[in-house]
A and B are shown apart, each in its own frame.
Chain A
Amino acid sequence: MSFITCRGLTFSYSPESRVVINGIDLEIEKGSYTAVLGHNGCGKSTLAKLMCGILLPTGGSVCVGGIDTADAERAYEVRRKCGMVFQNPDNQLVASIVEDDVAFAPENLGLPRGEIRRRVDEALATVDMSGYAKHSANKLSGGQKQRVAIAGVLAMGPECIIFDEATAMLDPTGRQEINAAMKRLNREMGLTVITITHYMSEAVEADRIIVMDHGAVAADGSPREIFSQVEKLKAISLSVPQVTELMYEMELDGFAMPRGILHAMEAADEIEKRAGGGKK
Chain B
Amino acid sequence: MNASVNALELKNVTVVYGEGTPFCKTALRGVSVCFPEGSTTGIIGHTGSGKSTLASLTNGLLKPTKGEVLLFGEDIWAKPKEMRTVRSKVGLVFQYPEYQLFAETVWDDIAFGPKNIGLDEEEIKNRVRDAAEFCGITREELERSPFELSGGQKRRAAITGIIAMRPKVLVLDEPAAGLDPKGREEILGGLKEYRRQNGTTMLLISHSMEDIARYADRILVIKDGEAFMQGGLNEVFSNAEKLFDAALDVPQITKLFIELKKRGLCGDTDVYTVGYAKKEAERIIGGSGNA
Contacts and interface: CB of A to CB of B under 8 A. Distances in A.
Interface of A: 38-41, 87, 141-143, 165, 168-174, 198, 201, 237-239, 241-243, 245-246, 249-250, 252-255, 264-265, 267-268, 271-272, 274-279
Contacts of B286: 275-279
Contacts of B278: 246, 249-250, 253
A156 to B, nearest CB: 27
Contacts of B265: 271-272, 275
Contact of A171 (B152, B182, B207): B207
Nearest to A276: B286
Interface in B277-291: 277-278, 281-282, 284-290
B285 A277 contact: yes
A246 B46 contact: no
B82 interface: no
Contact of B47 (A143, A239, A264): A143
Interface string B29-58: 000000000000000011110000000000
B270 interface: no
Contacts of A275: 265, 284-286
B68 interface: no
Interface in B190-248: 207, 209-210, 247-248
Contacts of A252: 289
Interface string B248-273: 11011101100110010100000000
Contacts of A165: 178
A238 B249 contact: no
Nearest to B155: A40
Contact of A238 (B177, B180, B248): B180
B284 A40 contact: no
Contact of A272 (B177, B182, B260): B260
Contacts of A174: 46-47
Contact of A201 (B179, B252, B284, B288): B252
Interface residues of B, number: 41
A273 to B, nearest CB: 9
Nearest to A40: B180
Given A172-B247, A242-B274, A268-B260, 18 more contacts: A40-B150, A142-B47, A168-B177, A171-B47, A242-B251, A242-B253, A242-B277, A243-B253, A246-B277, A246-B278, A250-B278, A253-B282, A253-B290, A264-B253, A264-B255, A268-B259, A271-B284, A276-B285
Contact of A267 (B152, B183, B256, B289): B256
B178 A172 contact: no
B274 A246 contact: yes
Contacts of B282: 250, 253, 255
A129 B158 CA distance: 38
B151 interface: yes
A239 B181 contact: yes
B281 A271 contact: yes
Contacts of B256: 242-243, 246, 264, 267-268, 271
B151 A279 contact: no
Contacts of A238: 180-182
A198 to B, nearest CB: 6
A153 B106 CA distance: 40
Contacts of A249: 274, 278
A38 B179 CA distance: 11
Given A39-B183, A253-B289, A87 B46 contact: no
Contacts of B180: 38-40, 198, 237-238
B151 A278 contact: no
Determine which residue in B207, B260, B281 has the highest number of CB atoms from chain A within 10 A of its CB, and name it: B281
Contacts of B47: 141-143, 170-171, 174
